[in-house]
Amino acid sequence: MHSHEHEITNGNEKKTLVVIIFTVLAMFAEIAYGYFTNSMALLADGYHMGTHALALGLTYAAYVLIRKFAGSEKFPNGTDKIGTLTAYTSSIFLGFTGIWIIIEAVQRFMNPLQIKFDEAILVAVIGLVVNAVCIFIMEGKHEHHHDHEHEDYNFKAAYYHILADALTSILAIAALLIGKYFNLICLDSVIGILGGILILKWAIGLLANTIKILIDMK
């Protein structure tokens, strides 16, 4: 690995670790407060953050392995594909997240539930603040590769998970505010479906790019 690429990889590894810490702290805070207040919304969002923490953990583990086996005879062609394989796995997680959001939104549309607007808005705002901090960390001095073969898809997958979470928080806040003040409860489901489709699109794009690298497809 060239020194410039090595520097970028090390930087991305550190950013990922900081983002994991923020995500895990927010997850435990939401779960603890959810149990304390008997809030299902907070509990659900806390456990949802747990799935993103798992995906981010995979990303960080890949960086550790890449660093550990750099220059190893076990990997004569380099360790780049460790990160690509992790990104591939993470894109599947992201895809399931998009599908789950769509299914949940369709069910809510068919069988509307009474929404506790104030509580739900609080949860969405907490999630958005945490994700905004994480995005700021990940964007810091972020460099893009013009050569797709050497692009850090491992980091990109982690970034998409945080971006997906931020997107769902923004859409949720908008839908909940409109639902609360204009009584358009069905809009929550419609926006949820659109958000799920967009996340699924990101996942498919990432999946396609990582598969091409893994099978050495031009």
pLDDT in tens, 143-193: 444 455 567 888 888 888 888 888 878 887 888 888 888 877 777 788 878
DSSP states of 84-139: HHHHHHHHHHHHHHHHHHHHHHHHHHHS-----HHHHHHHHHHHHHHHHHHHHHHH
Give the C-alpha distances (Å, rounded to integers) separating 10 from 4, 15, 73. Answer: 10, 9, 21
Range of the domain at 10: 3-214
Lowest mean pLDDT among 134-143, 175-184, 205-214: 134-143
Residue 204's pLDDT band (cuts 50, 70, 90): very high
| Residue range 102-131: mean pLDDT, rounded | 82
Does residue 68 register a pLDDT over 80? Answer: yes
- d(C-alpha 30, C-alpha 26), whole Å: 6
In CATH, what number is assigned to the domain containing residue 82?
1.20.1510.10
DSSP states of 3-16: HHHHHHHHHHHHHH
pLDDT of amino acid 146: 46
Question: How many domains are contained in the chain?
Answer: 1
